Amino acid sequence: MTARFAGRVALVTGAGQGVGAATATELAKGGATLVLNDVDDAKLQASAEQLRALGATVSTYAGSVTDASIVAAMAEAAIAEHGKVDLLLNNVGGGPPMTPWNEFAESDLAHFRAIFEVNFFSQAMVLRALLPQMIARGYGKVVCVSSMSAVMGQESGSAYASGKLALHALVSSVSKEVARKGVNVNAVVLGNPPHWTRTPDRQAYLDRLSHIDRVGQLEEFGKGIAFLLSDDASYITGAAIPIDGGITTPRMNG
């Protein structure tokens, strides 16, 4: 049986840990060639070595994708080395500890700009850099990582929630532009993954919201995203699909 990602080249940002590393593992198991990015080079190299141990061909490009010059150089290097990029996991974003939660009335424009740079513009720039060659070849699969905060809002985190929700509009719009050009563009709405920073009270709150009553496992997020990057999901585009244990779907009692 042919591996479902055989012959595919996948670029994964935020690949040094968490959901990015978990998804890269699923892609490697499926036979994909991998181009990995992370701002933390030590974590990036450790992740790459684990994937090479699975037999994957892996190249790395360290740097922050909030920097347009780094994004352009990374895309150019990936295409020069492999001739193409078929699959893109846009997996960069963050709230605390990168920045403190601030109520909107106490925040300022600089705070909003910083959060949008990480949670929206970084993903938009990577997508913009790789999309033309996908269109030219008539093939591409893109997944942008969002958060349940985009759907539910985030008290004291309006900048983060707004940045993530902006991704949904980008995905919906771009997917319409490229659907007849062989490119699928989707978002995933993550909720309650194990690597999120949270207090015990926050975790208890998330567990109450989850219909499954537990933290999601990284492998579960990775498998869900890998499905959307596969040809098995060829009729799914423009969607924001929750992988959240049901958190964004309210419970109805009675």
pLDDT in tens, 72-93: 999 999 999 999 999 999 999 8
pTM above 0.85, yes or no: yes
Active site residues: 160
Task: Please report the domains of the chain, with CATH numbers, ordered by start residue.
Answer: 9-243 (3.40.50.720)
Residues in the chain: 254
Residue 247 contacts residue 209 (beta carbons within 8 Å) = yes
CA 215/CA 24 separation, integer angstroms: 21
pLDDT of residue 50: 97
Closest CA to 88 of 35, 47, 137, 135: 35
Helices (H), 53-199: 68-82, 109-116, 122-137, 148-152, 158-178
Distance, in Å, from the CA atom of 110 to the CA atom of 116, rounded to the nearest integer, reads 10
Question: Hey, what amino acid is at 210?
Answer: S
Name the residue with tokens 């983060």: 160
Residues of the chain whose pLDDT is less than 50?
Answer: 1, 254
